Amino acid sequence: MRSLFVAFSLILGAAGGAGAHNIYYGNFHAHTNVSDGIGTPEEAYAYARDVAGIDILALTDHTHMLTATEWVDLGDAADQYNEDGVFIALRAQEFGILNDFGHINIFGVPYRNPYATTNLPATYNFILDNNGIGSFCHPNPSYGTWFDGFNFLSSFVESMKGIEMRCGLATNNYTDEVTYALDKGWKLAFFGNQDNHQGMWGNQQNTNDGGAIYLTGVLADNLTKDEVLDALRARRFFCQEEDPPGDRIKLWFWANGHDMGSTFETPGAVTFTAHAEAVNGVSLFNRGELFRDGVLLDSQVLIDTTIDYEYEDVIAEGESHYYYLRVRQVDGDFAWSAPVWVQQADISAAPEPIASGSRVRLLPTSPNPFFPRTQISYESPGVLEGPIELAIHDIAGRRVRNLGLVPATTGVHRLTWDGRDDRGNILASGIYLIRLRTDRGQVDSQRILLTH
């Protein structure tokens, strides 16, 4: 197994993330002269694209400072600079008063939020009704009611998708505040933003933090406005520090094949895998750290310009946890993945398990590594009421080949996979997962390496 994981690491390093989303860098908190910043929206978008070299800029001028005309003009400027595949310009708004509940950035809505800055539930409802994306800004507990003490309202959990882990020129990060909000029950991914008021949209350095630039990494298949907004809605983004300029971090994080930002159930064990790269190919990582419910669970020394992380945790019946990964570079830069939220499957609601020693199980696949075909084998005790489902998934958890329903009769069964997807295309070299599922909810999986 270890040799396969090493091979997987080499493939990821060479291919930039086999079976993974692309990563695009954005600044999702910035201002211009239509509220309390400098420069025009056009200047901001052009600077972010041509000077800072980022992929996405969201202008979040203050809602209460925007006239109806200025809101329309912001949309026109965003439309002018938005170019799929090149640069994504977003019109957004920063709503709230620091003396009331604080500030919330709102993305993906067509209107200015019309509600009072004292009525936080109304703002949550506005976001939800308009399929928007809310983010808690610079969550300083001294600002107003601190979002009503981060009081969790389950009916609005899908209103809020993010919280700023790093922001602006603050002298501290917001780890404690983020943990408090997550512990309350909010499901939030982590933004790294600059809160620009003096220009430098996309490459503003925090002189109170050694010159670090804060950016958000967005995981999407393509650089389009719709896919960026969908990634935010899926909480598929991470916070990263960049110091010196250009020293960006790529980070992928999976739990049982689910992307960062996911919520899922598991019958017990959770396998965490991650891959991180220094974009400049020079900066060294030195550690990967897994947090469970805000507390350090595992720490591994991993020294290279690209690193791979793996860890397994077991969740007892009735438990639920959130996890996130933090990677660290030798020069002190960090990147924080979005969390995953994991709930132990309700065993009492599942069908009666079969007797111990009578589980269906995958046998070693041979050959492995393989090309062009391999033989998949499994053993069945023959006590199941229905057939067995067998499928091939990529390392990100997406099903690429449905092998269909296979016999559940007693004995060892074998079938051949030719390395092709459901459309008959030969898949790229990389790690794939064989997944077996029975009518009783049993799941078994096995990694396999396809190499051309």
pLDDT at 358 over 70: no
The model's confidence at residue 18, banded by pLDDT at 50, 70 and 90, is very low
The model's confidence at residue 6, banded by pLDDT at 50, 70 and 90, is very low
pLDDT at 384: 63
For 184-213, the pLDDT digits (tens) are 999 999 999 999 999 999 999 999 999 999
pLDDT at 308 over 70: yes
**Cα(218)–Cα(327) distance, integer angstroms:** 16
pLDDT at 168 over 80: yes
Lowest mean pLDDT among 2-11, 151-160, 360-369: 2-11
pLDDT at 35 over 50: yes
* CA 448 centroid distance within chain: 25
Average of pLDDT values for 24-45? 98
pLDDT at 179 over 80: yes
Q: Is the CB of residue 201 less than 8 Å from the CB of residue 48?
A: yes
pLDDT at 328 over 90: yes
Whole-number CA gyration radius for the chain: 24
**Cα(288)–Cα(328) distance, integer angstroms:** 7
Average of pLDDT values for 320-345? 95
Bridge partners of 334, per DSSP, are: 328
Overall CATH class of domain 361-450: mainly beta
Q: Is the CB of residue 133 less than 8 Å from the CB of residue 104?
A: no
pLDDT at 249: 98
pLDDT at 5: 38
Q: Which of 135, 236, 147, 250 is nearest to 195 (CA)?
A: 135
Higher pLDDT, 186 or 424: 186
**Cα(132)–Cα(263) distance, integer angstroms:** 19
pLDDT at 226: 96
Please name the amino acid found at residue 154: S
Question: How is the chain split into domains, by residue range?
Answer: 2-344, 361-450
pLDDT at 305 over 80: yes
pLDDT at 396: 67
Please name the amino acid found at residue 160: M
Lowest mean pLDDT among 15-19, 30-34, 69-73, 389-393: 15-19
Q: Is the CB of residue 61 less than 8 Å from the CB of residue 94?
A: yes
Average of pLDDT values for 382-390? 74
The model's confidence at residue 14, banded by pLDDT at 50, 70 and 90, is very low
pLDDT at 405 over 80: yes
**Residue reference for tokens 């469970």:** 292
Higher pLDDT, 106 or 442: 106
3-state DSSP assignment of residue 139: coil
Overall CATH class of domain 2-344: alpha beta
3-state DSSP assignment of residue 1: coil
**Cα(120)–Cα(109) distance, integer angstroms:** 17
pLDDT at 291 over 70: yes
**Cα(390)–Cα(411) distance, integer angstroms:** 16
What percent of the chain shows pLDDT beyond 90? 70
pLDDT at 9 over 70: no
Lowest mean pLDDT among 86-100, 177-191, 392-406, 411-425: 392-406
Provide CB contacts within 8 A for 103, sequence distance 6+: 94, 95, 96, 137, 138, 143
For 67-84, the pLDDT digits (tens) are 999 999 999 999 999 999
The model's confidence at residue 302, banded by pLDDT at 50, 70 and 90, is very high
**Residue reference for tokens 């959130």:** 322
Q: Which two tokens stand for residue 286?
A: 């030195």
Higher pLDDT, 19 or 136: 136
Q: Which two tokens stand for residue 326?
A: 């933090």
pLDDT at 224 over 90: yes
pLDDT at 241: 97
pLDDT at 127: 97
Strand-pair category, 133-136 with 160-167: parallel
The model's confidence at residue 352, banded by pLDDT at 50, 70 and 90, is very low
Strand-pair category, 22-27 with 88-95: unpaired
The model's confidence at residue 334, banded by pLDDT at 50, 70 and 90, is very high
pLDDT at 375 over 70: yes
The model's confidence at residue 132, banded by pLDDT at 50, 70 and 90, is very high
Bridge partners of 361, per DSSP, are: 379
